[in-house]
Amino acid sequence: MDEEPKVPPLRPLDDFLIGGARFGPPDFKNQEKWNNRVVQNLMYYQSNYFVSILVVVLLCFYLQPSTMLFGICLFSIASTYFVYAFRVRKNDMENFNKEHPLGYVAVVIFSTIIFLYMVPKMAFFMLSVLFPVLLMLIHASFRMRNFANKVQNKVEAVGLKKTLMGQALKMIFQDF
């Protein structure tokens, strides 16, 4: 029986960004230590990160609603097409490649041209989603953990794996 993901508490803005927040460059030479810092910060501040991403996306929706809707539609269509054509129908595409190699090259070129045509139209949507993710990773890299963060991560180590961020990190890093 799978448990529903738990929602961790929203950390105070003073702890997250201003006031008591301490920032410092990570040790780029020690990859393991840097990865640990990022993962621990992602887990500790995950609610703040999700709220930040949501605020930026909603702000972009407010500023450019038609562009965002168009970008979402194009992104969905492009993703569905590529998953369907090259994953779901992989065997059919391989047979088509063997039987009609020139036709297969034409399909791949046509698909690429359409995708490249759609990318600028999806740019605002993709930027509105990916820019906050970049800021989240920068914050997680440079935010130095405080004592409360370390204690909370140890106390909630088992429980945090059932949060959305814990599940996402587990999908990305299988050994997490």
User: How far, rounded to the nearest angstrom, does the alpha carbon of residue 9 sit from its chain's CA centroid?
Assistant: 20
Residue 120 pLDDT greater than 50, yes or no: yes
Return the pLDDT at 114. Answer: 83
Q: Among 29-33, 99-103, 152-156, whose mean pLDDT is lowest? A: 152-156
- pLDDT, residue 132, reads 92
pLDDT for 1? 43
Task: Name the band, by pLDDT with cuts 50, 70 and 90, for residue 9.
Answer: confident
For 174, other C-beta atoms within 10 Å of its C-beta total 6
CB atoms inside a 10 Å sphere around CB 28 = 9
123 vs 93: which has the higher pLDDT: 123
Side-chain half-sphere exposure of 47, counting CA atoms within 13 A: 12
Q: Which residues of 98-116 are buried (b: 16+ CB within 10 A; e: fewer)?
A: eeeeeebeeeeeeeeeeee
- Does pLDDT of 15 surpass 70? yes
Contact 163, 7 (CB under 8 A): yes
% residues pLDDT > 70 (the chain): 84
